[in-house]
Structure 1
Amino acid sequence: MGNRRRVEERRKTKPAVIGAVIAVVVVGVGAGAYALTGGSAADDGSTTSSSADDKPKVKTGPLSAQEVRSASTTFLTAWQTGKVSRAAAVTSDPAAATGLLTGYLTSAHIKDVTLTAGTRTGDKVPFSVKGTVSYKGTDKPLAYQSSLTVVRDKATGKPQVDWHSAVVHPDLKDGDTLVTGESGTPPVKAYDRDGGELTTAKYASLGPVLDGLREKYGKIAGGKAGVELRVVRGKESDKAKLSDKTLLTLSEGTPGKVRTTLSPTLEAAAEQQVAQKPKSSVVVMRPSTGEILAVANNSHSFNVAFQGSLAPGSTMKVVTSTMLFEKDLVHPDDSHPCPKTYKLAGWTFHNDDDSEIKEGTFKLAFGASCNNAFINFAPKLSDSDLTKEAQQVYGLGLNNWAIGVPSFDGSVPVMSGAQMGASLIGQGGVRMNPLNMASVSSTVSSGGFHQPYLVAPSVDNRTLAKASRTMSSKTQAELKDVMSYTARYGTAAKAMSGLGSGCGAKTGSAEVDGQKKPNGWFTAYCGDLAASGVVQAGGHGGDTAGPIVAALLKMGG
Structure 2
Amino acid sequence: MRSGAKVAIVGGVFIVVAGGVGYGAYNVLNGDGGGSTTAESKSTEVRTGPLSAEEIRTTAEDFLAAWADGKDPELAAAYTNNAAEAKDAVAGYSEQAHITGAVITPGKATGAKVPFTVKATVKFEGLSKPLSYASELTVVRGLTSGKPLVDWVPTVIHPKLEKNTHLVTGEAAKPPIKAVDRNGTELTAQKYPSLAPVLEQLRNKYGEKAGGKSGVEMWIHTDGDNTPRSMLLTLSKGKTGELRTTLDAKVQAAAEQAVKKFGEASVAAVKPSTGEIVAVANNRKDGFNAAMLGKQAPGSTMKIVTAAMLLEKGLAGAGKPAVCPKTALYEGTSFHNLDNFEIQGGTFTQSFARSCNTAFIKLIDEAKDDHALPSVARQVFGLGLDWQTGIASADGSVPEAEGGGAAAQYIGQGTVQMNVLNIASVTATTKDGTFRQPIIVPRDLDDRQLAVAERQLPGSVGQQLRDMMRATASWGTGRTAMSGLGGDKGAKTGSAEVDGQATSNSWFTGFQDDLAAAASVESGGHGGDAAGPVVAAVLSAG
TM-score (normalizing by structure 1): 0.79
1:540 counterpart SS class = coil
Q: How many residues align?
A: 516
Change (3 A) 1:387 1:104: farther
2:290 counterpart (304, 307, 318): 304
Structure 1: unaligned runs, 5 residues or longer: 1-12, 27-32, 46-62
Q: For residue 129 of structure 2, what is the aligned residue in structure 1?
A: 140
Distance 2:527 2:214 in 1: 44
**1:349-388 equivalence runs, <5 A:** 349-357=335-343, 359-376=345-362, 384-388=371-375
What's the CA shift for 1:441?
Answer: 0.5
Task: Report the equivalent of 1:519.
Answer: 505
Structure 2 CA distance for partners of 1:155 and 1:433, relative to 1, 3 Å: farther
Return the match for 2:483 from 488, 494, 497: 497
Q: Which residue of 2 aligns with 1:397?
A: 384
- Partner Cα distance (1:291, 1:227) in 2: 34
How far has the Cα of 1:375 moved from its partner? 4.1
Q: Work out whether 1:290 is the aligned partner of 2:291.
A: no
Instruction: Confirm or deny: 8 A CA contact 1:181 1:227 kept in the other structure.
Output: yes
Q: Residue 34 of structure 1: CA displacement?
A: 13
Partner of 1:216: 205
What is the deviation of 1:156?
A: 9.2
2:251 matches 1:266: yes
Cα 1:289–1:164 change in 2 (3 A) is farther
Conservation of the 8 A alpha-carbon contact between 1:261 and 1:291 = yes
Q: Greater CA deviation, 110-119 or 520-529?
A: 110-119
Once the 2 structures are TM-superposed, how far is the Cα of residue 227 of structure 1 from its aligned partner? 0.9
What is the CA distance between 1:141 and its match in structure 2?
1.6
Work out whether residues 110 and 131 of structure 1, in 8 Å CA contact, stay in contact via their aligned partners in 2: yes
How has the CA–CA distance of structure 1 residues 84 and 297 changed in structure 2, closer, same or farther, with 3 Å as cutoff? same
Contact 1:484 1:501 in 2 (8 A): no
Q: 1:254 to 1:329 in 2, by over 3 A?
A: same
1:22 maps to which residue? Answer: 23
**How many angstroms does 1:555 deviate by?**
4.3
Work out which of the residue numbers 539, 553, 556 in structure 1 matches 2:525.
539
Match among 221, 224, 236 for residue 232 of structure 1: 221
Q: Does 1:203 find its partner at 2:192?
A: yes
Moved more, 193-202 or 342-351: 342-351
Among 233, 240, 261, the alignment partner of 1:248 is: 233
Secondary structure of 1:289's aligned partner:
coil
Alignment counterpart, residue 102 of structure 1, candidates 88, 91, 104: 91
Letter in 2 for 1:519: N
Task: Give the SS at the match of 2:380.
Answer: helix
Structure 1 residue 145 displacement after superposition: 3.8
| Higher alpha-carbon deviation: 99-108 or 381-390 | 381-390
C-alpha distance in structure 1 between counterparts of 2:363 and 2:110, whole Å: 61
Secondary structure at the aligned position of 2:455 is classed as coil
Q: Which residue identity is paired with 2:382?
A: G
Deviation at 1:17, TM superposition (A): 5.1
Query: Aligned partners of 1:309, 1:160: CA distance in 2, in Å?
Result: 48
* Shift in Å, 1:255: 0.4
- Rate the CA distance shift 1:73–1:349 in 2: closer, same or farther, 3 A: farther
Give the 3-state SS of the residue equivalent to 2:518 in structure 1.
Answer: strand
Identity, % of aligned positions: 48
Note closer, same or farther for the CA distance 1:76–1:430 as it changes in structure 2 (3 Å cut): farther
Whether 1:466 and 2:463 are equivalent positions in the alignment is no
Tell me which amino acid in the other structure corresponds to 1:435: L
Contact kept, 8 Å, 2:77 with 2:87, in 1: the verdict is: yes
- Partner of 1:429, secondary structure, is coil
SS in 1 for 2:24: coil
Q: Name the aligned partner's letter for residue 538 of structure 1.
A: G
Is 1:281 aligned with 2:278?
A: no
| Contact residue 314 and residue 369 of structure 1 kept, 8 A | yes
Query: Using a 3 Å threshold, how does the CA distance of structure 1 residues 313 and 129 change in structure 2: closer, same or farther?
Result: farther
- Further displaced range: 353-362 or 88-97: 88-97
Specify the code of the residue in structure 2 equivalent to 1:324: L
Q: For residue 465 of structure 2, give the secondary structure of its aligned residue in structure 1.
A: helix
Q: Deviations for 1:298-328, whole angstroms, at most 9, x for unmatched residues?
A: 3594433223333322212212222333344
**In 2, are the aligned partners of 1:508 and 1:520 still within 8 Å (CA)?**
yes
Match of 1:407 in 2: 393
Partners in 2 of 1:209 and 1:148 — Cα distance? 36
Structure-2 change in CA distance of 1:289 and 1:14 (3 Å): closer
**Does the residue aligned with 1:491 lie in a helix, a strand or coil?**
coil
Mapped contact 1:88–1:95 kept (Cα < 8 A): yes
Alpha-carbon distance change, 101 to 289 in structure 1, aligned in 2, over 3 angstroms:
same
In the alignment, is the contact (CA less than 8 A) between 1:412 and 1:430 conserved in 2? Answer: yes
> How far apart are residue 385 of structure 1 and its match?
3.9
Deviation at 1:100, TM superposition (A): 4.2
**1:358: Cα distance to partner?**
5.3
Q: Which segment drifts farther, 109-118 or 431-440?
A: 109-118
The superposition leaves residues 460-503 of structure 1 with CA deviations (integer Å, 9 ceiling, x where unpaired) of 22222211222211221232132122111211011111435732
Q: Which runs of 5+ in 2 are unaligned?
A: 1-13, 35-40
Cα 1:444–1:135 change in 2 (3 A) is same
User: 1:130 corresponds to which residue?
Assistant: 119
Q: SS state of the match for residue 197, structure 1?
A: coil
Query: Distance in 1 between the 2:406 and 2:26 partners?
Result: 63
Q: Does the 8 Å contact 1:25/1:115 carry over to 2?
A: no
| Displacement of 1:201 | 4.4
Instruction: Give the Å deviation of 1:345.
Output: 6.6
| Structure 1 SS opposite 2:429 | helix
